[in-house]
Amino acid sequence: MRIGLDAKRAFNNGTGLGNYSRFVINGLLKHFPQHEYYLFTPTIKPEYQNFYTPSENVKLITPESLLGKTFSSLWRTYSIAGMCNELKLDIFHGLSNELPVGIESFTGKKIVTIHDLIFLRYPNYYGNIDRYIYTKKFKHACAQADWVLAASEQTKRDIISYFGTSEQKVKVSYQNCNDAFGEPATAEQKEIVASTYSLPEQFALCVGTIEQRKNQLTALQAFHKLNHPTLKLVFIGKQTDYAALLLEYIDEHQLQHDVQFLEQIPDLDLPVIYQLSSMFIYASEFEGFGIPILEGLRSNIPVIAANASSLPEVGGKVAHYFEPKDVSGLLGCMSNALNEQPNKEILQQHLKQFDTSTLMASLLTIYQS
């Protein structure tokens, strides 16, 4: 088959859509190298240009004309559909919530992955213009696609509810996290990473952009109430205005020596930090999937998550759950996590559904259906 993939996010985004796009592309290349792949991207950031191994069956498609290079975003929106027919592709897969304008004229199969509809569920987090653009793009993609892949059962329900998309053409397609999270770090690696970031000997870990929807204040309040003699709290993520609430709480309760903030951790170091932690907490009120939960599970540490949206799908029976704003509930989960380790047999059984080989086989089946 000749498969076209919207690879903009793979070549330009560090997390989220970028990680998903690189996961799909590398997974297909590894497990199904017999097919031809066409990666469409308007621009390429140097730090992501080598995320895949070049080979004869992979073609990189970028703007060639001065006009296309100058207006690269318009090239992506308006030129890719025509190229799909010119290249005689069998499939075009939009990996990040949208399909190009004119894709209805493409004679091959049209597939789009929708990650979440948070902009509709929490409209107050977005500007009016952004909401309008996202709604238009997402609805167009769902209407034109032969198959709509939802990041979770939660996202599937939202697609059907908000857009009226036929349930028959929406399929759930999970993703895996980086393999590095399942590979035990050496004692030397742990020592180097712990020293580099001045990590405490025992700490609870929270990973994700520090923003209102991620609900880190609840995690901070529960940590404070736990009042553990040696446990510290480490946040990793880009800070937004919401971080001011956490800093204010820390100052008010003299927690400056108990809470640490980190940003822009290299991909090689993040799995080691997970493995150094005593537990992982994900208090988010809503997610389309929740990849950090999977990272925590693969790191073989206790995982605590809010009982909301797609998070129980990812955590299964292995994770501990609390209601998103229930500080006491989270406090109880933290107390339990300090005295428990994940059941390895149950954990491994749960993680099978997220194995890359299984997910890629399911994706190819959709391509061929």
Burial zone of 179 (CB within 10 Å; 0-12 exposed, 13-18 middle, 19+ buried): exposed
Residue-level pLDDT at 69: 84
Q: How confident is the model at residue 177 (pLDDT cuts 50, 70, 90)?
A: very high
Q: Does pLDDT of 107 surpass 90? A: yes
- So what's the pLDDT on residue 39? 98
- What confidence tier does 66 reach under pLDDT thresholds 50, 70, 90? confident
pLDDT in tens, 204-225: 999 999 999 999 999 999 999 9
Read off φ and ψ for residue 6, nearest 5 degrees: -75, 105
Confidence of residue 165 (pLDDT cuts 50, 70, 90): very high
CATH number of 179-353: 3.40.50.2000
Cα pseudo-dihedral 341, 345, 346, 348, rounded to 10: 100
> Distances in Å between the alpha carbon of 77 and those of 10, 96, 219, 228?
17, 13, 41, 53
Handedness of CA 257, 259, 264, 265 (dihedral sign): positive
Query: Given this model, what pLDDT does residue 343 score?
Result: 85
Q: What gap in Å lies between CA 317 and CA 283, rounded to an integer?
A: 17
Average pLDDT, stretch 106-130? 96
| pLDDT for res 360 | 98
Q: Is 229 exposed, middle or buried (0-12, 13-18, 19+ CB in 10 A)?
A: exposed
The CA-to-CA distance between both ends of the chain, in Å, stands at 12
In this prediction, residue 14 carries a pLDDT of 85
Report, as an integer, the average pLDDT of 304-330: 97
Residue 341 has pLDDT above 90, yes or no: no
What average pLDDT does this structure show over 123-141? 95
Please tell me the predicted confidence (pLDDT) of residue 340.
84
The pLDDT of residue 60 is above 90: yes
Asked whether the predicted pLDDT for residue 355 surpasses 90, the reply is: yes
Handedness of CA 356, 271, 211, 239 (dihedral sign): negative
The tokens describing 313, both together, are: 């799908």
Q: What is the pLDDT averaged over residues 39-62?
A: 96
* pLDDT tens track for 4-45: 999 999 999 988 899 999 999 999 999 999 999 999 999 999
Structural domain spans, the chain: 2-173, 179-353
Counting residues of the chain whose pLDDT is more than 70, the rounded percentage is 100
In this predicted structure, the answer to whether residue 108 has a pLDDT above a threshold of 90 is yes
Q: Give the 3-state DSSP-derived string for 57-120, with helices as H, strands as E and coil as C.
A: CEEEECCCCHHHHHCHHHHHHHCHHHHHHHCCCCEEEECCCCCCCCHHHCCCEEEEEECCCHHH
pLDDT reported for residue 68: 82
Name the more confident of 163 and 125: 163
2-173 topology per CATH: Rossmann fold (3.40.50)
Position 65 scores a pLDDT of: 87
- Answering whether pTM is above 0.85, one says yes
Q: How many CB atoms lie within 10 A of CB 257?
A: 9
Residues 230-270 pLDDT 10s? 999 999 999 999 999 999 999 999 999 999 999 999 999 99
For the CA atoms of the chain, what is the radius of gyration?
21
Is-same-fold flag (2-173; 179-353)? yes
pLDDT of residue 260: 99
Q: What is the mean pLDDT of residues 51-57?
A: 95
